[in-house]
Structure 1
Amino acid sequence: MTTTERIWHPQYVWVTAGAVAMIFLAATQALAVTTVMPVVSADLDGAALYAVAFAGTLATSVIGMVAVGAWCDRTDPVLPLASAVGLFVVGLLIAGAAGDMTTLVVGRLVQGLGTGGQTVALYVVVARVYPTALHGRVFAAFSAAWVVPSIVGPVLAGAVADYLHWRWVFLGVAVLTAIAFIVVFLRLRGLPLRTSEPSDAPVLRRLSWAIVVAVGALGLSLAGEAGAWSLPVIALSLAAIGWGARPLLPTSTLRARRGLPSVILMRGLIAGALFGAEIYVPYLLIEEYGFSSTWAGLGLTTAALLWALGADLQGRFGDRLGNTRITLLGTVQLLAATLAAAATAAFALHPAVLIVGWALAGGGMGLMYPRLTVLTLAYSTPQNQGFNSSALSISDSIGASASIAAMGLVFVMLQATVASFVAVFLLAAALALLALVPGLRLGHAHQAPAR
């Protein structure tokens, strides 16, 4: 390996360091919010908006992904990245200063616009700054950036909420993210990152569909508050999500066509299974087992450890294992974790069953997540890197937001009982099984890129 074939070579070191730091902070914030949201909800008397605080961020992130993806396909990714980071920081500040749950949700909506755009812009930065041979290593570094916050983040966030205040979970990350972006910006500013053949695909139409998807996801998460109109709201919301998503994804994604469409679809299904259920892991530990916020974070830490291990194994042996084996190994672990969680809730098993069992979910995702990202870039050209990167992230967000909204609706309808937890985890298990359909049709990314 030559010296320039390292992501920490002086030519790339500041971009790598800043980008990894931004991923690290986004991971810290996401995991921290999952841990402390039960405390936030109780403090702001916002139980009815608990799921919306998660689903809303993911829903608006779709808008950010589409806008930034189209922007990057027309120019270099620096200004789009700057705009996304600005929205992310502003959203964190609003949430950190919120005096009621409604204001906090507004902050989370603004934060979502930035989160989605930031992810897409960083993917395009990887595609245009690093040679293809280093893409796998960069995404392995991004996965590794989840390791420390995943290990200590949930427990640390719980400690911050218990001994300081939950507001620092938002405010602290806002300041550190701004610093990390400055590091990246100063290095990218002078690089020739503009594509030689900018896309001329229409943007306003795609943005309109992204707004339709976001409204549908928000409508689904709020359907429980609609009273007698709940069923019509649910039906209209699901129709909006399904119809609006089609133009934002590669052709035939919802039909699981072999290649890139199946890569994109699988990402959404496994995101829905994991993130939809994950927010109820600390909730179950706090409500049914009396854990503090600090100790409830252990339920997420175990998953993070195996996520890191799975990502490392995928980085080392992914090509040798192949896409089919990775799919089977990953989905089986995710299925086992969700069923263990359902059994814990249903039969009041020892909480260790939930904590240890949930670790399998992390192991499966560690194998599958980075693999799907690398495949997406392998199927892409410079003209559609923004589109395909945004499609991957959009599928992520649609899967997670729709799943969180649907599970939140079920949870509220069952009145937050033990049956509610069981139902949520069984829904996640069903999504993990469904992910096998596109997972066995990923292809090998050596054919012409799909659009």
Structure 2
Amino acid sequence: MERSPGVFAPQWRLTSIGIALAISLFAFEGIAVATAMPSAVRDLDGLAFFGWPYSAFLVMNLVGLGVAGQWCDRVGPRRPLLTGIAVFTAGLLLAGTAGHMAVFVLGRGTQGIGVGLASIAVFQLVATAYPPRLRPRALAIISAAYVLPALVGPVISGTITAHAGWRWVFLGLVPLVVAGGLTLLPALRTAPTPDRAPGDRSRKPLFALLAGIGVVALQSGGNAVVAGRTVLAVPLLAAGLLALGAGLRELLPRGSTRLRRGVPAVVAVRGLLAGAFYAVESVVPLTLVTLHGYGTVASGLPLLAGAVGWWAGAQAQGRITTVTRSSLLRHGLIALVCCFVGMAALCLPGAPGWPVYLLWIVGGLGMGVCVPTTGVLVLDQSAENETGTNSSALQISDVTAAGLGTSGAGVLVGATAAGGLGFGAAMTVLGIIATAVCATAAAGTSRTAPLKERAAVG
């Protein structure tokens, strides 16, 4: 039997390389900024505003995602993708040349908008440039492109910061980002333009901004609770919940909170698994240092193991054709449940620390299967003029839940620092919550596929 061409066949090679390069650079910037940030805030005398660059990126990333969805559905991926790359580049230049912390924060916010615009356009490019049978492998490229910066990003950015200065962590990416955009031009020229009236405008960017502000307010409110500032915490938490609820109501498909069959259920499951995974991931190194006495390098190695597992899972899901996508998603979530149960157990008194390396490979494997699989499920169930909107909802669910999960984990850590809760007990609670969240998502995977989907495909 003749083997069918893959995503690196001549007709798709430049597109695949361009997507991999663009996504890798977006991911590298997100990782590298953590390494460059201490030097940047010191040079800009901005230690008091250390969290603002992260918050600005999160909020404006949601705005970019909100803008991109319907824009892509109206005009196709070309203009949103090129605009996103241009805006991201402008953000790199702003951050890299900043002489004041306010300009640096503005640069990070600009980068967030650019990444939001470009990431949705890349999803739609996958839908238009590749046949349906190659979409799982094309989305595996995106997952792999996120993994590579996790493997080498901290080392490269640390070396650049130490020898050339933190500014070159941003400025050095500019020519590479431009090169990635040029590589995608051939595919963008041939991308079809949807047949949709250009007058369809929405207020989704405003609701995305509202949701982002809600996440930041909830994080601030949680920190205020830990610090014992109840008078400040109550209004912050109330305002955050109202803003987040109002924003997500307009940004996510109707029925997402009820896991309504089809795209709403996929979007909800993606949010649940992202929130659980990133919450636990954010405390893995700290847990190894605090509970098991590991050093800095050893405590960070599980994240490297998880990245390798993620890559393996992404590649595997692109080649598996013997089960349905919803079943594959369930298997990935079961892997995450096993990982989180183990993580909770390792935080009990007397438990060893070394199994975390194996557990985090399992967790990464689960994410590598789940993330591209949810993307395939959304694209396969979206009409041509809905791929942008539905992809936007999927990414918004992911980013919002990840922000909430890491914020919640941070509040738990803060509670241990304040003496209200033992660190091991807090991390055990976090593992149990993450397990319950992913188990709920696994139970809902049957609703992520159309009614007519069979239990297996040949």
- Does TM, scored on the shorter chain, surpass 0.5? yes
Deviations 1:218-245 (CA, angstroms, capped at 9, x unpaired): 2122222593221221122122212211
Of 363, 366, 378, 2:365 maps to 363
Match of 2:136 in 1: 136
Deviations 1:337-392 (CA, angstroms, capped at 9, x unpaired): 33444444554755433333222210111111111101100001111111111111
Structure 1 residues 104 and 331: alpha-carbon distance in aligned structure 2, compared to 1, 3 A threshold: farther
Structure 1 residues 378 and 82: alpha-carbon distance in aligned structure 2, compared to 1, 3 A threshold: same
Q: Is the 8 A contact 2:326 2:449 kept in 1?
A: no
Match of 1:231 in 2: 234
Q: Report the CA distance between 1:414 and its aligned residue.
A: 3.6
Q: Does 1:334 align with 2:336?
A: yes
3-state SS of paired residue (1:320): coil
Give % identity: 31
3-state SS of paired residue (2:136): helix
Q: Is the 8 A contact 1:411 1:423 kept in 2?
A: no
Q: Is the 8 A contact 1:51 1:408 kept in 2?
A: no
Q: Is the 8 A contact 1:72 1:386 kept in 2?
A: yes
Measured in 2, the distance between the counterparts of 1:130 and 1:8 equals 11
Q: Is the 8 A contact 2:310 2:367 kept in 1?
A: yes
Measured in 2, the distance between the counterparts of 1:429 and 1:252 equals 23
Structure 1 residues 425 and 115: alpha-carbon distance in aligned structure 2, compared to 1, 3 A threshold: farther
Match of 2:295 in 1: 291
Deviations 1:276-318 (CA, angstroms, capped at 9, x unpaired): 33233344456774634x655422110011111111221222x
Q: Report the CA distance between 1:336 and its aligned residue.
A: 3.2
Structure 1 residues 152 and 349: alpha-carbon distance in aligned structure 2, compared to 1, 3 A threshold: farther
Partner AA of 1:84 in structure 2 = G
Measured in 2, the distance between the counterparts of 1:299 and 1:102 equals 35
Partner AA of 2:384 in structure 1 = P
Match of 1:429 in 2: 435
Q: Report the CA distance between 1:136 and its aligned residue.
A: 2.2
Q: Does 1:207 align with 2:205?
A: yes
Q: Report the CA distance between 1:106 and its aligned residue.
A: 4.3
Q: Report the CA distance between 1:408 and its aligned residue.
A: 2.6
Q: Is the 8 A contact 2:310 2:368 kept in 1?
A: yes
3-state SS of paired residue (1:316): coil
Structure 1 residues 214 and 250: alpha-carbon distance in aligned structure 2, compared to 1, 3 A threshold: same
Q: Is the 8 A contact 2:327 2:445 kept in 1?
A: no
Structure 1 residues 57 and 122: alpha-carbon distance in aligned structure 2, compared to 1, 3 A threshold: same
Match of 1:23 in 2: 23
Q: Report the CA distance between 1:119 and its aligned residue.
A: 0.8
Structure 1 residues 323 and 416: alpha-carbon distance in aligned structure 2, compared to 1, 3 A threshold: farther
Match of 2:374 in 1: 372
Match of 1:10 in 2: 10
Match of 1:402 in 2: 404
The farther-off stretch of 35-44 and 48-57 is: 35-44
Measured in 1, the distance between the counterparts of 2:352 and 2:171 equals 36
Q: Is the 8 A contact 2:329 2:374 kept in 1?
A: no
Q: Is the 8 A contact 2:313 2:369 kept in 1?
A: yes
Q: TM-score, normalised by structure 1?
A: 0.84
Measured in 2, the distance between the counterparts of 1:45 and 1:346 equals 41
Of 381, 384, 395, 2:383 maps to 381
Q: How many residues align?
A: 443
The farther-off stretch of 160-169 and 427-436 is: 160-169
Match of 1:441 in 2: 447
The farther-off stretch of 28-37 and 121-130 is: 28-37
Q: TM-score, normalised by structure 2?
A: 0.83
Measured in 2, the distance between the counterparts of 1:95 and 1:107 equals 5
Measured in 1, the distance between the counterparts of 2:334 and 2:51 equals 27
Match of 2:180 in 1: 180
Deviations 1:162-212 (CA, angstroms, capped at 9, x unpaired): 776555544433442232112213x24532531123465432x22222121
The farther-off stretch of 273-282 and 78-87 is: 273-282
Q: Report the CA distance between 1:61 and its aligned residue.
A: 1.6
Q: Report the CA distance between 1:122 and its aligned residue.
A: 0.6
Q: Is the 8 A contact 2:282 2:409 kept in 1?
A: no
Deviations 1:125-168 (CA, angstroms, capped at 9, x unpaired): 12222233322221122223234333333454455567765555
The farther-off stretch of 15-24 and 138-147 is: 138-147
Structure 1 residues 119 and 94: alpha-carbon distance in aligned structure 2, compared to 1, 3 A threshold: same
Q: Report the CA distance between 1:96 and its aligned residue.
A: 4.7
The farther-off stretch of 53-62 and 261-270 is: 53-62
Q: Is the 8 A contact 2:136 2:317 kept in 1?
A: no
Measured in 2, the distance between the counterparts of 1:140 and 1:270 equals 18
Structure 1 residues 306 and 18: alpha-carbon distance in aligned structure 2, compared to 1, 3 A threshold: same
Match of 2:125 in 1: 125
Measured in 2, the distance between the counterparts of 1:351 and 1:409 equals 23
Partner AA of 2:260 in structure 1 = R
Which of these two proteins has the greater Rg computed from alpha carbons?
A: 2
Measured in 1, the distance between the counterparts of 2:36 and 2:177 equals 20
Match of 2:305 in 1: 302
Measured in 2, the distance between the counterparts of 1:125 and 1:196 equals 16
Structure 1 residues 265 and 160: alpha-carbon distance in aligned structure 2, compared to 1, 3 A threshold: same
Of 213, 216, 220, 1:218 maps to 216
Q: Is the 8 A contact 1:65 1:393 kept in 2?
A: yes
Root-mean-square deviation (Å): 3.5
Measured in 2, the distance between the counterparts of 1:90 and 1:352 equals 44
The farther-off stretch of 334-343 and 226-235 is: 334-343
Gaps of 5+ in 1: none
Q: Does 1:70 align with 2:70?
A: yes
Match of 1:276 in 2: 279
3-state SS of paired residue (2:417): coil
